Chain A
Amino acid sequence: MKKHALIFGYNEYGVEIAKNILNQYENITIFRLEKDSDFSDKKNDLTIKEFDLSDDWTGTIGTYDIEKSVVFCSLEDVAKNIFLTISLRSAFSDLFIIALTNNNEDANKLRMAGASKVIPIVETTANIITDMLKKPIITKVLHDILYEDSDLKIEQVKIKNEKYFENKYPADIKWSRDHGVLVISIIHEDESSEFIYSSKTKHHYIKNGDIFVVVGYTKDIEEFKKYVGKSDEK
């Protein structure tokens, strides 16, 4: 579990990220690029520090435990954001970096610069809009499951007690009736993701280390977790 969230870019995106992850980290720091913008947020009590694009990280993230930190690169200037990502990656090879960008072209550059995960804002927003128009009900349900504080959750559950599923294929088990949850997909040890009814999963015996992506009510998921072995994921 990461302890520190370091957000580079004091702007609306940075503040929104900080607000949403507030309960998940021991401390959250927003780094403001010197003379970057006039943006100011007085509503939220956030720790703001300044940084520059030099390679000296001693005064900034050098003080944090890098292994337990996650970094968000959300500078508005794309070129500076890419430069920041590449600087951080060259200095900290194990750092988990999430970078924001406007378009797919820059998303590729950010990935090449070493970002662990890239959120393309324009494409993501456009996807949400088209999904809302094309499949309004699915979009609403998924939105509630993923982002809202509803009882219905999507979670990843790691299998630790394979003995319960001895010689059984995932598709053979009536998850919804036996456990009250729906298993959508299985992530194998090699991190490949497979849909529950795909041909590959059909011939895969459940074993320890598999991660199930399950949808269900919080209570049922907790019960399920207990059943397959207490998970340390979350």
Chain B
Amino acid sequence: MNFFARLLVDFAYILNTSVWYQRKRRFFYNILENEDYKYKKYFDIFMMLLIFLSVSILIYEVKRDAHDYLQFFNNYIISLVFFVEYMLRLWISSSISKVIIHQNEYCDLLNRKFNFMFIVKRVLRDKFEYVFSPKAIIDLLAIMPFFHELRLLRIFILFRVFKIFRYAKSFQTFSAVLATKKFEFFTLSMFASIVIFVSSVLIYVMEANNPDSSIDTLYKAFYWSIVTISTVGYGDVVAVSSEGQFVAVIVILSGISVLAFTTSLFVSAFTEKLEDIKESKIIQDVSKMKRIYIICGYENIAKEVAKKLVSAGFSIIVIDECPHRTEEAKKDSYMALNYNPGSVDSYKKLNIDMSTQVKAILCLREDDVSNVYSALTIRSIDKNVYILSLLMNKINKNKLLHSGVNEILYDKEFVGLIAKEYIGQPVAFEAIHALGSEASIIKMEEIVVTERISSGIRYVKNLDNINFRIVLLGVYKKSSTRFYFNPMDDTLLEIGDYLLVIGNYMFISEYIKHLSKKIKA
């Protein structure tokens, strides 16, 4: 390897391993191309504003003289921003350093001579692939007004409008949906082209020598065909001879079928893709959420849990492999996806970070096999996410524990315990359960001791709960993870401890405010 080749390879390795360079590259990739990047939408809005501003200036200039500053802003500043954006997109479209490194490793492995020309060709091929893509061409044309001396090029400002396609996701969805019917649209356009061509020639032949007819050129014949086949029929150019009118009838009939076919194509394309569009919208929404509950399965208990969590203001998403149950969840107005909770792919598609975005995963299928499978799948993805699972048959408890479930709920056991408690202490049981009911105004609440509360209130004796008609059931100490019932007056309150209180929910709310105010004292 000669000196220059060595230098090139070394430089490629430096770039490829440079944290600073890679961070910058990733940043520009995210801001320009990554739909999931939270700041991308601000960049898109900024670019769209520039486009609208630019077009507005163009419209203003049609009948008036724009101020020099405006022209300067339009011709130079906006064009410069677009140019910088174009170059950045060109930069991130492919990695030159990776091509060099790959070629170097390939040559080393096969003991071949380092081929500089291959790299040049490969890099040019990659870059030209981007340059000749429709979006890049529009970007380039949008920069053209920069050369404002060429007056004709000013009309290229209109190409800036096409740039909106790049920033508005709905346009992209629209074109993606229509792209699924490429073949049908091609067939339709071929049919329409043939009809337009034949009818244009025919009407020209029939009408061109008729002094009463306005169709005296092939261009007018073509214009007449388009206006007629589209069923618009302005009436400014019409066939006057009976032969010409016969051609008109044929074109009108063809036009109706072309229009009907086009409409049906649009409708069927959107109907077929509607579910996919909704699914990608859900995934997009979920990926932005925080502290979400994932409910695996949508059966009786899951339905009730979903209802209660949503009414308490939590975000949930239901995933179920059964289309019927998923549909049910959607009808109940929940975000639901027809994914298999036992498949790693399902969670990858959700595009969420389990450790930061997911509060808990609830395996609520009324079938132990499915719950074990789902729990194992989730645990294989994330070691720490909280998993709660239903247990339907007691003999499967160990299997669920082994699959990594944090909390198991066996409803039959609870029914037994409730029956026991109800028989033993019916009045106490009803009284304590009334506290948990949604209708009751008396609630049990956990109040976390924040830094603010802790700095104002050091000991239990300072809590002042009786004045707020609140019963202090006890303190849950974070340090010892123990609950201290009816704590002594000198019990120290530390940050992270919980006060368990019972009282009227309005008084509790006032009490929390009072605790937080204490700092001022």
| Contacts from A to B (Cβ < 8 Å) | 2, 12-13, 15-21, 24, 70, 72, 98, 100, 102-103, 117, 119, 121-135, 137-138, 140-142, 144-147, 152, 154-156, 171, 176, 180-182, 184-185, 187, 193, 195-198, 211, 213, 215-217, 233-234
Contact = CB atoms under 8 A, between A and B. Distances in A.
A86 B426 CA distance: 22
Interface in B288-310: 293, 300-301, 304-305, 307-309
Interface in B376-433: 388, 390, 393-394, 407, 409, 411-432
B282 interface: no
Contacts of A141: 473-474, 476, 483, 500
A133 B316 CA distance: 13
B312 interface: yes
A213 to B, nearest CB: 4
A25 B415 CA distance: 18
A133 B407 CA distance: 11
B423 A215 contact: no
B265 to A, nearest CB: 47
Interface string B105-135: 0000000000000000000000000000000
Contacts of A185: 431
A56 to B, nearest CB: 27
A233 B362 CA distance: 40
B444 interface: yes
Contacts, number: 175
Given A2-B423, A24-B420, A72-B419, A129 B446 contact: no
B327 interface: no
Contact of A137 (B308, B416, B426, B476): B476
Nearest to A185: B431
B284 interface: no
Contacts of A103: 300
Contact of B421 (A2, A13, A147, A216): A147
B360 A20 contact: no
A20 B416 contact: yes
A147 B432 CA distance: 12
A4 to B, nearest CB: 12
A143 to B, nearest CB: 9
B21 to A, nearest CB: 45
A133 B388 contact: yes
B417 A126 contact: no
A217 B474 CA distance: 13
Contact of B469 (A119, A155, A171): A171
Nearest to B427: A156
B414 A124 contact: yes
A133 B444 CA distance: 14
B436 A131 contact: yes
Given A128-B409, A137-B483, A20 B305 contact: no
Interface of B: 293, 300-301, 304-305, 307-309, 312, 314, 359-360, 362, 364, 388, 390, 393-394, 407, 409, 411-432, 434-436, 442, 444-446, 469-474, 476, 483, 485-486, 498, 500, 502-504, 507
A135 B508 CA distance: 15
B423 A129 contact: no
A20 B420 CA distance: 6
Contacts of A119: 415, 418-419, 422
A125 B414 contact: yes
Contacts of B423: 2, 21, 24, 70, 98
A130 B312 contact: yes
Nearest to B364: A129
A127 B436 contact: yes
Contacts of A138: 444-446, 500
Given A126-B304, A128-B414, A195-B442, A182 B486 contact: yes
A193 to B, nearest CB: 5
A21 B486 contact: no
B469 A197 contact: yes
Contacts of A127: 308, 436
A122 B300 contact: yes
Contacts of A144: 483
B412 A16 contact: yes
B471 A125 contact: no
A155 B427 CA distance: 9
A117 B362 CA distance: 30
Contacts of A121: 411, 415
13 contacts: A18-B416, A100-B415, A103-B300, A117-B426, A119-B415, A126-B308, A130-B305, A154-B432, A171-B469, A182-B471, A197-B471, A215-B485, A217-B485
A155 B425 contact: yes
Nearest to A187: B427
**Closest 8 A-B residue pairs measured CB to CB?**
A126-B304, A16-B416, A197-B469, A20-B416, A20-B420, A130-B308, A147-B417, A213-B431
Nearest to A174: B466
Q: Which of B388, B412, B429 has most A Cβ within 10 Å?
A: B412
Nearest to A134: B312
A156 B428 contact: yes
Contacts of B483: 137, 140-141, 144
A129 B486 contact: no
A28 to B, nearest CB: 11
A216 B428 CA distance: 13
A146 B421 CA distance: 7
Contact of B430 (A122, A131, A193): A193
